[in-house]
Structures are given as structure tokens and as C-alpha cells.
Amino acid sequence: MGIFKKILPREFLEDLTNLDVERFLKNGVDYFVFDFDNTLGLWKSCTVEKRFEPILAKILGANGKVLIVSNGRPRQIPFNGVRIIWRARKPFTWKIKRILDSDGIDPRRVVMIGDQIFTDVLAGNLLGMYTIKVKPLSNREFIGTKVLRFFEKIVLRLAGKGGRL
């Protein structure tokens, strides 16, 4: 069961629009780390999905911080006030840790949101963040991600999550 503790998120969300930003802000969590591909935007896209823009605006409007951490290739994402790390190599944490350390951020003040347990959730858990897994926006993705999805379904079934999300 120890491995499940590292790869399972604290919370599952069917849709990112259900993210309760106020709940986190009230509890001192003011730093939001998002995956990009299939979490905020479609794979290889250069834009945040319109329906998620109000979430990012709400965080930034409440003096929260937004960091996008993607294993994808660098792209220009036209969204002001957001820091981005490309080619992050999640689940390795050193690039994320370097940013948090430079900002003086305690990982207990951070929530990590992503669509994969073996990259996003594992990285967040290794750093001591609150982790949320969201349903991927699309089935269109990198071939390596498709392989990980197969194993993800097995892990979620074994953990009693029914292989969903």
C-alpha cells in the first residue's frame, strides 16, 4: 500500500471547472501548479481552454500564484501573470523545487493539478503538495502517455478507484 500513497492524489475532479479555489485560499493554499497538456489545454495547444481562464484569473486576482509545469515542448501561452516550466521531466521534481525555493514557498501552501498519476500527481506528492487528478481533456496525446494510461487504469482499479479519471 505504500506505493499508492505516492501515486494517488488526495482528490479527484471530473472537470477542472469544479476546482474550489476559495476553499484552498481560505486554508492558506495560494500557490497553484497546473500541468498544461490535457489539463489546461489540449495536447500541443498554445492556449488555455476558455472555460479555465476564469479559474486562473480568480487565483491571480486573489494574489495567488500560478505555475504551469509541462513535460511538453516550449510554446508561447498568452496568459499574463503565469510562470511556465517546459520540459519539466515530471515526476522528477528538481525544476519545480528550484522555483518554489526561489519564491520561498512551503509545499504545504501548494496544490498540484494534473491529468496523470505517474507524472503530475507523483511529482506533487514527492514534494509534499496537495494533489488533484483531473480527467484528461482529450484522448489525443503522446504515445508514451498512452502507455502510462494503461498502467494508470490498473493502479486505479487496484486502489479501488475503478480505473476512471
Q: Mind listing the pLDDT tens digit of every residue in the chain (165 residues)?
A: 466 677 889 999 988 999 999 999 999 999 999 999 989 988 878 888 899 999 999 999 999 999 999 998 898 887 788 899 999 999 999 999 999 999 999 999 999 999 988 899 999 999 999 999 999 887 777 777 667 777 777 777 777 765 544
Residue 165 is predicted with a pLDDT of 44
The arrangement of strands across the sheet holding 130-134 comes to 11-13, 130-134, 110-114, 31-34, 65-69, 82-85
**89, 71 Cβ separation under 8 angstroms:** yes
* Separation between Cα atoms, residue 74 and residue 70, nearest integer Å: 9
Contacts of 100 (CB under 8 A, 6+ apart): 31, 107, 110, 127
Question: Which pTM value belongs to this model?
Answer: 0.86
Contacts of 95 (CB under 8 A, 6+ apart): 69, 85, 88, 89
Phi, psi of 162 (to 5 degrees): 70, 10
* Separation between Cα atoms, residue 98 and residue 101, nearest integer Å: 5
- The upper half-sphere exposure of residue 63, i.e. CA atoms within 13 Å in the direction of its Cβ, equals 2
